[in-house]
Amino acid sequence: KISEIKIQNKEHELLLVEVENNLSKALLKLEQCRTTSSNLEQDIEKNTKYLNDQGFALSSLDSELKKLYIEIQNKTKQIDLENKQLEMIKKLHNDGHILTPQMQIDQVKNKIDEVVKGTNFIKQSWIQQQNKNVQLLAQLNNQFNELVKVRKYDLIMETKNKKLDEEIASLSKEVYQYKQTLTNMRNTILKLNEKFSQNKEKSNMLLSENEWIQCSYLAELKENEKLCLEYIDQLKLLKNELNELKNVYMEKQYESKSWDTKLQLLIEIKNEIKNKEGDLGDIDIMKNEIHRMQIRESQLKKILEKIMLDLEVCISRRETIYNKVAAKDIRLKGKNEAKQKFLKKLDYLRINIKKIKTECKKLDLNKSVLENDKMKLENKLTYLNNNMISIQKSINDILKNIEDIGATKIKNIHILSYKQNYAKFLDAVKKGQYRLLIKNELKMDDEFSDEWKKNSDLISVVDALKNDFPYLDFQITRLLYILKSIDNKS
Q: What is the spatial distance between Cα 2 and Cα 202, in angstroms, rounded to a whole number? A: 13
pTM over 0.75: no
pLDDT for the residue 279: 46
Q: What is the spatial distance between Cα 261 and Cα 248, in angstroms, rounded to a whole number? A: 20
pLDDT for the residue 99: 47
Pair 419, 486: CB distance under 8 Å:
no
Pair 477, 414: CB distance under 8 Å:
no
pLDDT for the residue 98: 46
pLDDT for the residue 435: 59
Pair 340, 348: CB distance under 8 Å:
no
Q: Find all residues with CB under 8 Å of 107, minimum gap 6, and list them.
A: none
pLDDT for the residue 105: 64
Please report, for residues 110, 112, 325, 341, the alpha-carbon distance to residue 106 in angstroms, rounded to integers and kept in the order given.
6, 10, 166, 148
Q: What is the spatial distance between Cα 482 and Cα 153, in angstroms, rounded to a whole number? A: 31
pLDDT for the residue 448: 72
pLDDT for the residue 92: 65
Q: Which long-range contacts (CB under 8 A, 24 or more apart) does 321-324 make?
A: 321/231, 321/234, 321/235
Q: What is the spatial distance between Cα 246 and Cα 231, in angstroms, rounded to a whole number? A: 22
Catalogue the E-assigned strands of 93-247.
Answer: none
| DSSP letter, residue 100 | -
Pair 181, 370: CB distance under 8 Å:
yes
pLDDT for the residue 39: 73
Q: What is the spatial distance between Cα 411 and Cα 305, in angstroms, rounded to a whole number? A: 141
Domain boundaries, the chain: 2-200+375-436, 218-347, 437-490
- pLDDT tens, position by position, for the chain (490 residues)? 556 666 766 776 777 677 667 777 767 777 776 777 677 777 767 766 776 776 676 667 667 767 777 777 777 777 778 777 777 766 766 655 444 556 666 676 777 677 667 667 766 776 776 677 677 777 767 767 776 776 676 677 777 767 767 776 776 677 677 667 767 767 776 776 677 667 667 766 766 776 776 677 677 767 766 776 776 677 677 777 777 777 776 776 676 666 666 667 666 766 665 665 444 455 555 556 666 666 666 666 676 677 667 767 766 776 776 677 666 666 666 556 666 666 676 677 667 667 766 776 776 676 677 777 767 777 777 777 677 677 667 667 767 776 777 677 766 766 677 677 767 776 776 676 655 555 566 776 777 777 778 778 877 887 877 777 776 777 777 777 777 766 554 5
pLDDT for the residue 290: 62
Pair 227, 321: CB distance under 8 Å:
no
